[in-house]
Structure 1
Amino acid sequence: MNGVLGDCALTVDLSGDYSAPAEASKEALENAISKVKAGVQVREIGRLIAETIGKKGFKPIKNLGGHGVGIHELHDEPFIPNYDNGDTAVLEENTIIAIEPFATLASGRGLVANGDIKEIFSFVGDFAQPRMPNSRTLLSMNKKGF
């Protein structure tokens, strides 16, 4: 509303095979939130995310991360890394950020590769019918594309 945006995500392991990395990401998020205050360097948030995920036996995905949320800008500065990337940028007072930790298996590269096929999303079934017409349209598009 009036250019004020929000960013919210939730990881759900429908298979039951990835509950441990999902839980590591959740714990990393909670630890990172506890570190957030004006004046903290974004690299320190990233260090804490990587440390938390690493202690659980996983790797952070280094080329994904959080971000600032601005007026009319969903993905704004600063970038919030999932590891200590050396960025000395500091959080300023009243900065709105989205912290987005991603954990992968220790055997993984810790990077997401760009390609023609996007595999982060999958449509798993109809659970509820959206009330809003735009939401129904979006759901219909997702059914066809994912």
Structure 2
Amino acid sequence: MSKRDRIIYLKSEEELEIIRNNGQILGKAHAEVAKLIEPGISTKELDKVAEEYIKDHKAHPSFLGYDVGGLKFPSSLCISVNDVVVHGIPSNRVLKEGDIVSIDCGVYKDGYHADSAYTYPVGPIAKEVADLLKRTYESLYKGIEQAKAGNRVGDISFAVQEHAEKFRYGVVRELVGHGVGKFLHEAPEVPNFGKRGNGPKLQEGMVLAIEPMITLGRRSVVQENDNWTIRTEDRKQAAHFEHTIVVRKGAGEALTTFEYIEAVLAKKNLTVA
């Protein structure tokens, strides 16, 4: 583990403002994608729209070329459909009515990253899947409520897990949230399961990506042969929501936004939360 992987960097208000501004670009890029999420569109088309929007705003898509052990992610979005939990690669796959699709995106500008994800319904979806989206969304905000100075990472983790498991959903263990800043992934890791009072102590100025990954069936996941795509082992649907937040005294404060996404969904008469 490198020195960077162990250090938790606290951000100044000036640094937080840069991340917040990047969160605005990110939220609007999500909204541009949300406008196009309909049966018949390919995931590659969605990726192209997001990449162009981010680059038009003098920013870089955080995931494009992201290097893990010499393996570089080929796209600007992670697009994960139905039983794909995260890290789906955009392709010629066409969305169908009743699908759900997680769009995970990052924006890098002025030396800092912002990272967020949202799981979208493709037209009307089955009630049990709609409930999964709603409860996963709620679990994100349960976690953010616990991101307050003096708590520990485990308090966030427990809040997410408790809410999801109350509805008998699976909570993915192998993938976690993380610190965000000059690097897309910084310390500390933020699991979606854990015990109250465990883990690193939260301090004001810590910036975290909290990202529940919750499954309709069992929590077990497998990795596809492309070395990126993670799907549920039982092939049941999974939902994923994520905000980049800063730890504050009373509760976490979101630096990314779903405002623009949800305005688009409202015009389509679709809701998640």
Identity of aligned residues (%): 29
**Counterpart residue identity of residue 225, structure 2:** D
Alpha-carbon spacing, 1:111–1:23, altered in 2? closer, same or farther (3 Å): same
- Kindly indicate which of the two structures has a greater share of residues assigned to strand: 2
Q: Which moved more, 1:38-47 or 1:79-88?
A: 79-88
1:137 matched residue in structure 2 = none
1:82 pairs with one of 184, 187, 192 = 192
CA drift of 1:52 comes to 0.3
- For residues 111 and 203 of structure 2, the distance between their equivalents in structure 1, rounded to whole angstroms, comes to 20
Alpha-carbon spacing, 1:37–1:102, altered in 2? closer, same or farther (3 Å): same
- For residues 67 and 85 of structure 1, the distance between their equivalents in structure 2, rounded to whole angstroms, comes to 17
**Counterpart residue identity of residue 121, structure 2:** D
Gaps of 5+ in 1: 121-146
Gaps of 5+ in 2: 1-108, 232-273
- Asked if residue 113 in structure 1 is aligned to residue 225 in structure 2, the reply is no
- For residues 195 and 224 of structure 2, the distance between their equivalents in structure 1, rounded to whole angstroms, comes to 24
- For residues 214 and 110 of structure 2, the distance between their equivalents in structure 1, rounded to whole angstroms, comes to 34
1:27 matched residue in structure 2 = 138
- For residues 148 and 155 of structure 2, the distance between their equivalents in structure 1, rounded to whole angstroms, comes to 11
TM-score, normalisation: structure 1: 0.71
Give 3-state SS (helix, strand or coil) of 2:155's partner: helix
- Asked if residue 10 in structure 1 is aligned to residue 121 in structure 2, the reply is no
- Asked if residue 48 in structure 1 is aligned to residue 156 in structure 2, the reply is no
**Counterpart residue identity of residue 115, structure 1:** E
Aligned residues: CA RMSD: 2.0
- For residues 55 and 11 of structure 1, the distance between their equivalents in structure 2, rounded to whole angstroms, comes to 20
Kept in 2: contact 1:64–1:112 (CA 8 A): no
Q: Deviations over 1:69-97 (max 9, x none)?
A: 021x1111111111006852122220111
CA drift of 1:119 comes to 6.0
- For residues 208 and 220 of structure 2, the distance between their equivalents in structure 1, rounded to whole angstroms, comes to 22
Kept in 1: contact 2:224–2:230 (CA 8 A): no
TM-score, normalisation: structure 2: 0.40
